[in-house]
Chains A and B, each alone.
Chain A
């Protein structure tokens, strides 16, 4: 807007209100993101006595312990990526192109795998394949000796089954949307089926495949619970950062922040590589001709069904195991033969405040996320200024921040005046808020771009002030999207472990933290029943979101 136009502009409320939103958004980002990140950066260059030093970075590359953690993080990252790509693309191909009986059930299993927290996965795999695991014991009874699932292979197996839905959900969408005429044209031009796949289909799904792979990779290197429970000496950056921070003696915040920075840098590099890879590869097809699903016969049909159900049940297995174990009879922490509801009655008797904490913290952070995220989303969508694009870009940062890093950064920022929040509920709520805020901003901005400005302009031309027009037209139109987004944010919030684990104190313990502690203490009954409660909460939220939004699994990513 030029200066000359200013007098006319001032009449409206918009400049003032949206300027206020922009100022508020920047204040939030500075206090909750930039200052903690800045302090993380500073802290990594300080020793215990506060002197400037490069020692932390030196130790990263000279100490075998930290260097191994760095290498191990890359191993589980790319190993998890490879596993997720393999399982995800097999699943995507079968589900998008073949007739598979029980397709709805299969995609429900994929959702279950996606929403069950990874540490529950690790725990369930231990139950089946750990040293005393049922499956392993049974096999040993038959004379088959299999190693327990601990160590790097165990982590990779869990990651493959945990993260394949990212690849599956994105790629199957792309595969189902390739115009059939393209493949027919390739066939008509004389390409063999293999050439056709490599030269036509694969390039067309590559953007989706790489986007799904990126999500798997970033989650794999950020994951804390799985390597912590399954690693047994196999440490990654996330676990080392936690250890450095939480060690009873010689807690080393400087080392924790250095490791955190390496994690952020790694995630960012992968995001940029993926962006670069798919920079030209956005294909829009005006779909006339959807590919038809093929009905396989005989052995091929059996093999396809076996692969799909193996992956689906493997992914959902942790949730199923947790549900079954939650109703096993227990005596204290020890399982007894038969079934019973002791675990649940114990939760009601002694862990009510944990459940309440989880619900209150998640509820409050979702409320904040929705209100503030929607306002910032409107700002980003409607004001196409350099300032709002910078805001949008800054909001990308929490995307790549592993939970453990947010936890460590909040400790670095809010342990000392002027703002002391450590040990409060607020710090946990705000950590979840800042991590999930970008998703809400993105989704509300997208919803708003769908509505288009002419709706509001129509209302204004009919005599409503801009505020009234926004409330009466825009809000009702984007409300279903906002509520659905809130439900999905709730799923993330209620399952959040790693940042809460750094930030909790006795009074602010949440369900995921309690589950983690219970597993470490061998109290599997409590862990299983709390996990089941979490799954039921997540499932209900997803059901509501799908009711509002229409069934779209990709909204979960």
Chain B
């Protein structure tokens, strides 16, 4: 079933280890994302698959054949770069045709396929322009068309949206996802933006310090983070000290965690069955329209609460005492090593 297989990938740069025994597999047609902070090894891993960086140890196979013994230009793997890497001396159409020429495709076929690829990324009107005059978003569209048009066996994307502004990032994100689905190609996408990863991926691999923290669907990564690192890197997480807010001592639990959207405003003493009440002092109140953010100090914990659809008359001054409550079933539990624990409380 596995299409791409990475086994025990290790990469050392002198005394430092950039990849510390990483294994995963990607299925045909799957959109797989490597997510992590900068320096976590995700780009090294991607470049090793492309062949621009050599693993110190480990195996990579694609469609059942060993990849590491194949030189980079014969791997037939498309790549989209963070800095676009559009050839400035070639026109938009020539950029897209570049890979087809290397494959000795007939001129007439090149013309058709380039036209089709440019239509897919909505750049047909600009095909004879030089790229220097184009915007970042347009350049990255060329990069995507150029990588896709050769119908590679695998598509790699190295933070392709990180140099674009926020609005464009959302648009192009959806476009990339649509194009990948239409073609049905397996893709590996590298990003440090957790929201982007949740939005675009079939599965996400969260990495930190050269190791995999968790592999799972966006729902699993967000809803059942396997480690404390994943919990706080993907989305926001309130970390609660044990033995606060009347939480029972559970053997092994070093820390409780709670998503901000699971905290709600409550009347004093109104916590129901299976719920805990919090009394705290408001530090900040930020009204954002569709939601409101509260920062609250309570029993030595600093908690963030996100109130969805706040009533228009909701105004909370800083310094005021406030009641919050949460369901204990929404708690996540982590042991001293930061690993997720299954408890009865956090069922």
| Pairwise interchain contact B102-A454, C-beta atoms closer than 8 A | no
| Pairwise interchain contact A465-B73, C-beta atoms closer than 8 A | yes
Interface stretch among A340-348, A469-477, A546-554?
A469-477
**A457-B69 in contact given A464-B102, A477-B88 (Cβ < 8 Å):** no
Number of interface residues of B (CB under 8 A): 36
A2 within 8 A of B: yes
> In the docked arrangement, what's the CA distance between A457 and B74, Å?
13
A455 within 8 A of B: yes
**A463-B76 in contact given A4-B57, A457-B52 (Cβ < 8 Å):** yes
| Pairwise interchain contact A452-B83, C-beta atoms closer than 8 A | yes
Chain A residues near B150 (CB, 8 Å)?
A: 462-463
> In the docked arrangement, what's the CA distance between A9 and B55, Å?
10
Chain B residues near A8 (CB, 8 Å)?
A: 54-55, 68-69
Interface centre among B12, B81, B85, B98 (most CB of A within 10 A): B85
Interface centre among B54, B56, B83 (most CB of A within 10 A): B54
A12 within 8 A of B: yes
Q: How far is the CB of B90 from chain A (nearest CB, A)?
A: 9
> In the docked arrangement, what's the CA distance between A202 and B190, Å?
46
| Main SS at interface, chain A | helix
| Pairwise interchain contact B69-A462, C-beta atoms closer than 8 A | no
Number of interface residues of A (CB under 8 A): 27
Chain B residues near A455 (CB, 8 Å)?
A: 85, 87
Q: How far is the CB of B92 from chain A (nearest CB, A)?
A: 14
Q: Which of B87, B89, B103 contacts A463 (CB 8 A)?
A: B103
| Pairwise interchain contact B88-A461, C-beta atoms closer than 8 A | no
Interface residues of A in 417-460 (CB under 8 A from B): 452, 454-455, 457-460
Chain A residues near B12 (CB, 8 Å)?
A: 2
B146 within 8 A of A: yes
A466 within 8 A of B: yes
**B249-276, CB under 8 A of A: which get 1 and which 0?**
0000000000000000000000000000
**A457-B81 in contact given A5-B56, A464-B102 (Cβ < 8 Å):** yes
Closest to A479 in B: B89
Closest to B77 in A: A461
Chain B residues near A1 (CB, 8 Å)?
A: 54
Chain B residues near A473 (CB, 8 Å)?
A: 87
> In the docked arrangement, what's the CA distance between A460 and B53, Å?
13
> In the docked arrangement, what's the CA distance between A469 and B87, Å?
11
**B58-97, CB under 8 A of A: which get 1 and which 0?**
0000000000111111111111011101011100000000
A11 within 8 A of B: yes
A468 within 8 A of B: yes
> In the docked arrangement, what's the CA distance between A477 and B87, Å?
9
Chain A residues near B50 (CB, 8 Å)?
A: 457, 461
| Pairwise interchain contact A458-B79, C-beta atoms closer than 8 A | yes
| Pairwise interchain contact B79-A11, C-beta atoms closer than 8 A | no
| Pairwise interchain contact B79-A457, C-beta atoms closer than 8 A | yes
Q: How far is the CB of B245 from chain A (nearest CB, A)?
A: 48
Q: How far is the CB of A457 from chain B (nearest CB, A)?
A: 5
Q: How far is the CB of B84 from chain A (nearest CB, A)?
A: 8
| Pairwise interchain contact A461-B56, C-beta atoms closer than 8 A | no
Chain B residues near A461 (CB, 8 Å)?
A: 50, 72-73, 75, 77-79, 147, 156
> In the docked arrangement, what's the CA distance between A21 and B82, Å?
31
Chain A residues near B156 (CB, 8 Å)?
A: 461
B29 within 8 A of A: no
Chain B residues near A11 (CB, 8 Å)?
A: 69-71
Chain A residues near B73 (CB, 8 Å)?
A: 460-461, 463-466, 468-469
Closest to A11 in B: B71
**A1-36, CB under 8 A of B: which get 1 and which 0?**
110110111011000000000000000000000000
**CB-defined A-B contacts under 8 Å, sample of 24:** A5-B54, A7-B69, A11-B69, A12-B72, A452-B83, A454-B81, A454-B82, A454-B83, A455-B85, A457-B52, A457-B79, A457-B81, A458-B81, A461-B75, A461-B79, A461-B147, A462-B78, A462-B99, A462-B146, A463-B99, A465-B71, A466-B73, A468-B102, A473-B87
Q: Which 7 A-B pairs have the closest CB atoms?
A: A462-B99, A463-B102, A5-B54, A454-B85, A461-B79, A458-B85, A11-B71
- Interface residues, chain B, with chain A CB atoms under 8 Å away: 12, 50-52, 54-57, 68-79, 81-83, 85, 87-89, 98-99, 102-103, 143, 146-147, 150, 156
Q: A1-B54, A454-B82, A466-B72 are in contact. List 4 more A-B contacts (CB 8 A).
A: A458-B81, A458-B146, A465-B71, A477-B89
